A and B are shown apart, each in its own frame.
Chain A
Amino acid sequence: MLLIPCPWCGPRAQIEFTYGGDADVRRPKDAMAATGAAWHDYVYLRDNPRGSHDEIWQHSAGCRRWLRLTRDTLTHAIIDSAPPTKEPPS
Chain B
Amino acid sequence: MSQPFRIAAGGRIERDRTLSFTFDGRALTGCAGDTLASALLANGVHLVGRSFKYHRPRGIYSAGPEEPNAMVALGPTDTHTPNLRATEIELFDGLQAHSQNRWPSLARDVRAVVDRAAPLVPAGFYYKTFMWPADRWMTYEKHIRHAAGLGLASTGVDAAATYDRRFAHCDVLVVGGGAAGLTAALTAARAGARVIVADERPTWGGSLTAAPTTLDGADSRLWIASTLAELTERDNVTLLPRASVFGRYDQDLYGIAVRRPDGSPNDAAPRETLWLVRTQRAVVAAGAIERPLVFANNDRPGVMLAGAAQAYLNRYAVMPGRRAVIATNNDSAYAAARDLQAAGVDIAAIVDARVEPARITIDGVRHIPGSAVVAARGHSRVTGAAVAHLGSDGKSLDGAVEIIDCDLICASGGWSPTVHLYSHAGGKLRYDSDIAALVPRDELATLSVVGAAAGQFVLDRCFAAGAAAGRQAVAACGYGATVIDVPVCDGQAATPPRPLWHLPLARGHKGKRFVDLQADVTVDDVELAAREGYRSVEHLKRYTTLGMGTDQGKTSNINGLAILAETLNDPIDAVGTTTFRPPYTPVTLGTFAGRETGKHFAPIRRTPLHDRHEQAGAVFAPAGLWLRPHYYPRGGVDVQTASRREATAVRRSVGLVDVSTLGRIDIQGTDAAELLNRLYVNGWSTLAIGRVRYGLMLREDGMVSDDGTTARLAADHYIMTTTTANAGAVMTHIEHYLQLVWPDLDVRVASITDQWAVIAVAGPNSRATLQRVAGDIDFTNESLPFMGLAQGTFAGVPATVFRISFSGELAYEVAVPADYGPAVWDALMAAGESFDITPYGTEALGILRVEKGHFVIGAEADGRATADDLGLGRMQSTKKDFVGRRSLGRPALTAPNRKQLVGLRPVDAAAAIPAGAQIVEKPSLIGPVEMIGHVTSTAFSPEREGFIALAMIANGRARVGDQVFASSPLTDTLVQMTITNHVFIDPNGERLRA
A46 on interface, CB distance cutoff 8 Å? no
Residue among A30, A31, A75, A88 with max Cβ neighbours from chain B (10 Å): A31
Partner of A31, one of B253, B278, B740, B886: B886
A18 to B611, CA, bound (A): 34
Is B743 touching A76 in the complex (CB atoms < 8 A)?
Answer: no
Is B741 touching A27 in the complex (CB atoms < 8 A)?
Answer: yes
A44 to B249, CA, bound (A): 32
Is A1 touching B250 in the complex (CB atoms < 8 A)?
Answer: yes
B251 on interface, CB distance cutoff 8 Å? yes
A7 on interface, CB distance cutoff 8 Å? no
A20 to B885, CA, bound (A): 21
A10 on interface, CB distance cutoff 8 Å? no
Is A66 touching B740 in the complex (CB atoms < 8 A)?
Answer: yes
Is A42 touching B251 in the complex (CB atoms < 8 A)?
Answer: no
Beta-carbon nearest neighbor of B741 in chain A: A27
A9 on interface, CB distance cutoff 8 Å? no
A64 to B250, CA, bound (A): 24
A65 to B743, CA, bound (A): 12
Contact A56/B740 with A32-B881, A32-B885, A39-B887 known, Cβ cut-off 8 Å = yes
B346 on interface, CB distance cutoff 8 Å? no
By a CB distance below 8 angstroms, the chain B residues around A18 are: 732
Give the Cβ gap from B748 to chain A, nearest Cβ, in Å: 12
A74 to B127, CA, bound (A): 34
Beta-carbon nearest neighbor of B702 in chain A: A43
Give the Cβ gap from B542 to chain A, nearest Cβ, in Å: 24
By a CB distance below 8 angstroms, the chain B residues around A60 are: 732
A79 on interface, CB distance cutoff 8 Å? no
Beta-carbon nearest neighbor of B278 in chain A: A3
Give the Cβ gap from A89 to chain B, nearest Cβ, in Å: 7
A32 to B426, CA, bound (A): 48
A58 on interface, CB distance cutoff 8 Å? yes
Tell me which residues from 46 to 81 in chain A have a Cβ below 8 Å from any Cβ of chain B: 56, 58, 60, 64-66, 75-78
A79 to B721, CA, bound (A): 39
A30 to B741, CA, bound (A): 12
A18 to B732, CA, bound (A): 10
A43 to B732, CA, bound (A): 18
Give the Cβ gap from A57 to chain B, nearest Cβ, in Å: 11
Contact with A along B146-177 (1 / 0, CB 8 A): 00000000000000000000010000000000
Tell me which residues from 724 to 782 in chain B have a Cβ below 8 Å from any Cβ of chain A: 732, 735-736, 739-741, 743-744
A82 on interface, CB distance cutoff 8 Å? no
Give the Cβ gap from B680 to chain A, nearest Cβ, in Å: 15
Is A3 touching B251 in the complex (CB atoms < 8 A)?
Answer: yes
By a CB distance below 8 angstroms, the chain A residues around B250 are: 1-2, 76
Is B701 touching A64 in the complex (CB atoms < 8 A)?
Answer: no
A42 to B249, CA, bound (A): 33
Is B881 touching A31 in the complex (CB atoms < 8 A)?
Answer: yes
Give the Cβ gap from B691 to chain A, nearest Cβ, in Å: 28
A3 to B252, CA, bound (A): 10
Is A84 touching B739 in the complex (CB atoms < 8 A)?
Answer: yes
B340 on interface, CB distance cutoff 8 Å? no
Is B276 touching A1 in the complex (CB atoms < 8 A)?
Answer: yes
Is B744 touching A1 in the complex (CB atoms < 8 A)?
Answer: no
Contact A84/B740 with A1-B249, A39-B887, A76-B250 known, Cβ cut-off 8 Å = yes
B962 on interface, CB distance cutoff 8 Å? no
A18 to B885, CA, bound (A): 26
Partner of A1, one of B253, B735, B740, B890: B253
A20 to B741, CA, bound (A): 13
Contact A39/B735 with A56-B740, A66-B740, A88-B744 known, Cβ cut-off 8 Å = no
Is B701 touching A43 in the complex (CB atoms < 8 A)?
Answer: yes
Contact with B along A1-19 (1 / 0, CB 8 A): 1110000000001000010
Give the Cβ gap from A86 to chain B, nearest Cβ, in Å: 6
A38 to B885, CA, bound (A): 14
Beta-carbon nearest neighbor of B249 in chain A: A1
A42 to B251, CA, bound (A): 32
A88 to B276, CA, bound (A): 41
A17 to B862, CA, bound (A): 26
A88 to B881, CA, bound (A): 17
By a CB distance below 8 angstroms, the chain A residues around B739 are: 65-66, 84
B700 on interface, CB distance cutoff 8 Å? yes
Residue among A27, A56, A75, A84 with max Cβ neighbours from chain B (10 Å): A27
By a CB distance below 8 angstroms, the chain A residues around B740 are: 56, 66, 84
Is B251 touching A78 in the complex (CB atoms < 8 A)?
Answer: yes
Residue among A1, A36, A44, A89 with max Cβ neighbours from chain B (10 Å): A1
A20 to B737, CA, bound (A): 12
Beta-carbon nearest neighbor of A39 in chain B: B886
A63 to B701, CA, bound (A): 29
Give the Cβ gap from A44 to chain B, nearest Cβ, in Å: 8
Contact A36/B890 with A1-B249, A56-B740 known, Cβ cut-off 8 Å = yes
Give the Cβ gap from A69 to chain B, nearest Cβ, in Å: 13
Tell me which residues from 600 to 615 in chain B have a Cβ below 8 Å from any Cβ of chain A: none
Tell me which residues from 870 to 894 in chain B have a Cβ below 8 Å from any Cβ of chain A: 881, 885-887, 890
By a CB distance below 8 angstroms, the chain A residues around B736 are: 20, 58, 66
Beta-carbon nearest neighbor of B252 in chain A: A3
A36 to B743, CA, bound (A): 25
A58 to B249, CA, bound (A): 22
Is B887 touching A43 in the complex (CB atoms < 8 A)?
Answer: yes
Partner of A75, one of B426, B744, B890: B426
Is A32 touching B886 in the complex (CB atoms < 8 A)?
Answer: yes
Residue among B167, B732, B886 with max Cβ neighbours from chain A (10 Å): B886
Tell me which residues from 418 to 447 in chain B have a Cβ below 8 Å from any Cβ of chain A: 426
Contact A58/B732 with A31-B886, A86-B743, A88-B744 known, Cβ cut-off 8 Å = yes
Beta-carbon nearest neighbor of A66 in chain B: B739
Beta-carbon nearest neighbor of B882 in chain A: A31
Give the Cβ gap from B133 to chain A, nearest Cβ, in Å: 38
Give the Cβ gap from B719 to chain A, nearest Cβ, in Å: 19
Beta-carbon nearest neighbor of A1 in chain B: B253
Beta-carbon nearest neighbor of B751 in chain A: A64
A77 to B445, CA, bound (A): 13
Give the Cβ gap from B910 to chain A, nearest Cβ, in Å: 47
Contact with A along B688-708 (1 / 0, CB 8 A): 000000000000110000000
Give the Cβ gap from A27 to chain B, nearest Cβ, in Å: 5
A32 to B889, CA, bound (A): 10
A42 to B702, CA, bound (A): 13
By a CB distance below 8 angstroms, the chain B residues around A65 are: 739
By a CB distance below 8 angstroms, the chain B residues around A44 are: 701
Beta-carbon nearest neighbor of B738 in chain A: A66
Beta-carbon nearest neighbor of A67 in chain B: B739
Partner of B251, one of A2, A31, A32, A86: A2
A27 to B740, CA, bound (A): 10
The 9 closest A-B pairs by CB, nearest first: A76-B250, A31-B886, A66-B739, A39-B886, A43-B700, A31-B881, A3-B251, A27-B741, A84-B740
- 13 cross-chain CB contacts under 8 A: A2-B250, A3-B251, A3-B278, A32-B881, A32-B885, A39-B887, A43-B701, A58-B735, A66-B736, A66-B740, A84-B743, A86-B743, A89-B741
Residues of A participating in the B interface, judged by any CB pair closer than 8 Å: 1-3, 13, 18, 20, 27-28, 30-32, 34, 36, 39, 42-44, 56, 58, 60, 64-66, 75-78, 84, 86, 88-89
Known: A31-B881, A42-B700, A89-B741; 13 extra A-B contacts, CB below 8 A, are A13-B167, A20-B736, A27-B700, A30-B881, A32-B885, A43-B700, A44-B701, A58-B735, A58-B736, A60-B732, A64-B735, A78-B251, A84-B739
